[in-house]
Structures are given as C-alpha cells and as structure tokens.
Amino acid sequence: MNRREAIQRTALALGYAISAPAMMGVLNGCKPSPELAFKPVFFTEPQAQTIAELSEIILPKTTTPGAKDAGVPGFIDSMLKEVYGKEAQEKFIEGLNAFEEDAKKTLGDGFMDLKPEQRVAHFKKHHDEALSAAGKGGPTGWWNAGKDGDKPFVLKVKELTLLGFFTSQPGATEVLQYKQVPGPYHGCVPLAEVGKAWAT
C-alpha cells in the first residue's frame, strides 16, 4: 500500500466516523422542541411546553400580541408555584396528565407531537366537553364552571391565561384601553374638593 492509498482510506474511515454521528444528529434534530421564554419553576420542561402551547391556542398572536408574547406561560408557572396550594397543584397536574394521556389514546401521540391543527381540535374537544358538563350558558358560563366542585383542567388553563394576559403590559396597553392618570398623589384631600374617586 502506498502513501496515497493510506491517506484515502484514512480519510474515508474518518469520514464515516464523523458523518455517522452528524447524520444521527440531523435525523434526531428534524423535530425541534419549542423554546421556552422562561425557566419553569413548577412544571417540568415538557409540561411547560404543553401549557405554553395551550395558552397560545386560547390567545393566539394576531394583530395583537399572543399569550406567549405577553409572558403568560411563565405567569401560569409562577402562579401554580407561588399561589396555589398543594392540593390545587396536584389537581392541576392530574388534569394536565389526563389531557396528555387522552391525546395519546385518541390521536396516537403526545400533545406536543401532534400537528398544530390536531392540537387545536384536541383542546376544542376538551373545552366543549367541559362547557357542556358545566351546564352554564352564555359567553361567560365557563367562568362559573366548577364553582361548586372542581373546575375542569382546560377551564383552569383558560382562566389563568386570561388573567395573565390582561394583567400583562401588552394585554393592558395594546388590547385594553389604558390611560395613565398623570399628576401627584395627595392622600389627605377633602372629598368635596376632588369629587368622585378614580377607578384607574
């Protein structure tokens, strides 16, 4: 064997050694997991991705910011960690797990592995079932669902999504009407001098 053949064989062997892991990386990387804009403190990473996707289905980005733009997934994560009690946290996770299991059972894959239109359909199915089980009519009937007992999981997510969105800066300033009241604060002023109290 001459030097040229040795170099060719070495290059070929080295090429196979380098290209095999690179090819596996390409194949495994074909389905990237969505990036989170926050570090979960309550949820696991997969749970946080599911909650982020659900919040975006509820309030998608249009001409106004969506739930992800307003930081709603991080808000939900913080609310569950800092505000909810142990029992409420456990019920929320049970609901999330049941939602995920139903996706696997009925659609053959986990929620985040579904196509976007399948995710929306799966959420809508659970949302409609929760509303019909609540038996409350009207556009705000979902808010009262579960007042006597336990609110269905999708309605808990919807409630937290709306709360997080409309208390965020993008939700309050770009979607709702927001007028900052200028001027100093005078705490001890006779009511007769100022009239009615301000709501904002």
In-domain check, residue 86: yes
Domain check: are 119 and 169 in the same one?
A: yes
Q: For residues 38 and 91, what is the distance between their CA atoms, to the nearest angstrom?
A: 23
Number of structural domains the chain divides into: 2
Instruction: Please state, rounded to an integer, the average pLDDT across all residues of the chain.
Output: 82
Q: For residues 164 and 166, what is the distance between their CA atoms, to the nearest angstrom?
A: 6
User: Residue 131 is part of which domain span?
Assistant: 34-175
Q: Dump pLDDT digits (tens) for 78-106.
A: 999 999 999 999 999 999 999 999 999 99
Look at residue 142 and tell me whether its pLDDT is greater than 70.
no
In-domain check, residue 183: no
Class of residue 46 by CB neighbours under 10 A (exposed 0-12, middle 13-18, buried 19+)? middle
Q: Which residues neighbour 52 within 8 Å (Cβ) at sequence distance 6 or greater?
A: 34, 36, 67, 68, 73
Q: Dump pLDDT digits (tens) for 22-40.
A: 555 544 444 555 678 889 9
Give the max Cα distance, the chain: 106
Domain check: are 126 and 159 in the same one?
A: yes
Prediction pTM value: 0.71
In-domain check, residue 195: no
The alpha carbon of residue 197 and the mean position of all alpha carbons in its chain are separated, in whole angstroms, by 37
Q: For residues 171 and 148, what is the distance between their CA atoms, to the nearest angstrom?
A: 30
